[in-house]
């Protein structure tokens, strides 16, 4: 159920509706829009008694939502969600393309600082890097843990980047929330409902990666888990799905981007690295992601990928990332997006003289 407030409804009227919803034993989710506020209602087993709400002052309409996902739906909020970060003007879901880059794993301070400096100079606003790694083999490198998070936090201060890093369980989620700027939930955990609920109670935005065999509905329901707990800053990510092809690690399902845009107000990023599996295919897939209308990219970059402790084969060299970032500007412009320019070189200084 969804309560649409009048365009000129007051804050007090919205609060009074929320209070009434709580008295009825349900949870209200006020989501302010550009022109009016909508209040989503969750926690109801059957139909909510619409009459009890439709007569309250300021209420325009009470609408039954038939889809299983409610808070993520465009019915609830017609305009795109723009995720913002405290102390930064970087956004996800606005006009500026969000560029996230960094190694698969944090391996040492020196390794992370070298790559962080490079990607910051190329225009990335977000530094990615796992300190807790969900690996297929229990014998593979599992990440540096809290020490890795300390290194990420130091790199944020040194280079002015926002930190995106993965949480794999209860304990790591609390640490990621403390040190990072954005909590990544990986493909393997997309349907870890206990973890999704915890992320929903966290105060930092969530980057939710599509499971490698998840449908669009399952992805949206996973996002609904996070939002239903009160965290409305969720960003989806397409990172490739498992198919019968063996020329890539995963098949990048670019078609999910317009499908997502139709059904939900949440932003979606494309991860060309985990889809490609090999460095030489990352750049073309990144171009496709921007062209199809993704709100940004998350790309693995490493200064010495042959010695990387995870995902070296799909990591770009910093020079490749830099060339890609410059090259994407043309495509971004065609689809009505801007890209952050950290210094005159990135702004195309040669042409501007």
Give residues in contact with Mn ion (CB under 5 A).
104, 311
Residues 245-304 that bind ligand PEP (CB under 6 A): 274
Contacted entry of ligand PEP, Mn ion, none for residue 186, CB cut-off 5 to 8 Å set by kind: ligand PEP
Stretch that binds ligand PEP, among 30-38, 89-97, 183-191, 333-341 (CB under 6 A): 183-191
CA distance 190 to 204: 17
Shorter beta-carbon distance to ligand PEP: residue 33 or 277: 277
Q: Which stretch binds ligand PEP (CB under 6 A): 68-76, 113-121, 185-193, 333-341?
A: 185-193
Q: How many CA atoms lie within 13 A of 239 on its CB side?
A: 25
| Residues 115-174 interacting with ligand PEP (rule: CB under 6 A) | 130
For the chain, the straight-line distance linking the first and the last C-alpha, in angstroms and rounded, comes to 57
Judged by CB under 6 A, which of 239, 281, 302, 329 binds ligand PEP? Answer: 239
* 187 is a contact residue toward ligand PEP (CB under 6 A): yes
C-alpha span between 319 and 184 (Å, rounded): 26
Distance CA 266, CA 180 (A): 21
Q: Kindly report the CA angle at 312 between 306 and 318, in degrees rounded to 5? A: 85
Structure-token match 């929320």, residue found: 18
Measured from the CB of residue 273, what is the shortest distance to Mn ion in angstroms?
A: 7
Contact 328, 97 (CB under 8 A): yes
Question: Which has the closest alpha carbon to 253: 211, 296, 225?
Answer: 211
Measured from the Cβ of residue 154, the count of other Cβ atoms closer than 10 Å reads: 15
Residue 209 contact among ligand PEP, Mn ion, none, beta carbon within 5 to 8 Å by kind: ligand PEP
Q: Does 209 participate in binding ligand PEP (rule CB under 6 A)? A: yes
Query: Could you give the CA distance from residue 324 to residue 330 in angstroms, rounded to a whole number?
Result: 11
Q: State the minimum distance, in angstroms, from the CB of residue 300 to ligand PEP.
A: 7
> Toward Mn ion, which CB reaches closer, 239 or 265?
239
Tell me which of ligand PEP, Mn ion, none is bound by residue 301, counting a contact when its beta carbon lies within the kind-specific cut-off of 5 to 8 angstroms.
none
Query: Which is closer to ligand PEP, CB of 28 or CB of 296?
Result: 296
Which residue's C-beta sits nearest to ligand PEP?
Answer: 186
Based on the shown chain and the rule CB under 6 A, indicate whether residue 206 belongs to the binding site for ligand PEP.
no
Site stretch for ligand PEP (CB under 6 A), options 60-68, 112-120, 180-188, 301-309? 180-188
Which tokens sit at 265? 């107000």
Query: Residue 198: which H helix or E strand, with range?
Result: helix 193-201
Number of residues that bind ligand PEP (CB under 6 A): 8
Of 86, 83, 84, 156, the closest CA to residue 124 belongs to 156
Q: Cβ contacts of residue 65 below 8 Å, gap of 6+?
A: 1, 2, 40, 73, 75, 76
Phi, psi of 181 (to 5 degrees): -110, -20
Of 28, 143, 186, 296, which lies in the binding site for ligand PEP, with binding defined by CB under 6 A? 186
**Residues 67-106: x/- map of binding to ligand PEP (CB under 6 A)?**
-------------------------------------x--
Nearer to ligand PEP, 41 or 162 (CB): 162
Q: Which two tokens stand for residue 113?
A: 């600082």
**Residues at the site binding ligand PEP, with contacts judged by CB under 6 A:** 104, 130, 186-188, 209, 239, 274
């Amino acid at each position: 159920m969804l309560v649409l407030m009048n365009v000129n409804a007051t804050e007090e009227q919205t609060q009074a509706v929320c209070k009434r919803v709580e008295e009825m034993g349900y949870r209200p989710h006020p989501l302010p829009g550009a022109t009016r506020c909508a209040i989503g209602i969750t926690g109801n087993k059957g139909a909510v008694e619409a009459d009890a709400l439709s007569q309250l002052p300021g209420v325009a309409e009470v609408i039954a939502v038939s889809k299983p996902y409610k808070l993520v739906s465009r019915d609830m909020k017609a305009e795109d969600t723009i995720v913002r970060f405290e102390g930064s003007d970087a956004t996800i879901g606005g006009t500026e393309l969000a560029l996230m880059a960094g190694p698969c794993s944090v391996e040492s301070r020196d390794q992370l600082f070298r790559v962080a400096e490079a990607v910051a100079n190329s225009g990335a606003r977000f530094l990615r890097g796992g300190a807790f790694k969900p690996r297929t083999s229990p014998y593979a490198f599992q990440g540096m843990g809290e020490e890795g998070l300390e290194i990420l936090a130091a790199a944020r201060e040194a280079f002015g980047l926002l930190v995106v890093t993965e949480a794999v369980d209860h304990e790591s989620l609390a640490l990621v929330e403390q040190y990072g700027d954005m909590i990544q939930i990986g493909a393997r955990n997309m349907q870890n409902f206990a973890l999704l609920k915890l992320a929903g109670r966290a105060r930092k935005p969530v980057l939710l990666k599509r499971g490698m065999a998840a449908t669009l509905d399952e992805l949206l329901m996973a996002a609904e888990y996070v939002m239903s707990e009160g965290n409305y800053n969720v960003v989806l990510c397409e990172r490739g799905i498992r198919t019968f092809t063996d020329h890539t690690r995963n098949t990048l399902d670019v078609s999910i981007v317009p499908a997502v845009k139709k059904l939900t107000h949440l932003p979606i990023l494309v991860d060309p690295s985990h889809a490609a599996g090999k460095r030489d295919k990352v750049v073309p897939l990144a171009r496709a992601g921007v062209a199809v209308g993704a709100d940004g990219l998350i790309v693995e970059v490493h200064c010495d990928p042959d010695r990387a402790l995870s995902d070296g084969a799909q990591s770009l060299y910093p020079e490749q990332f830099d060339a890609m970032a410059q090259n994407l500007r043309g495509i971004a412009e065609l689809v009505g997006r801007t890209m952050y320019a950290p210094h005159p070189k990135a702004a195309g200084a040669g042409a501007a003289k």
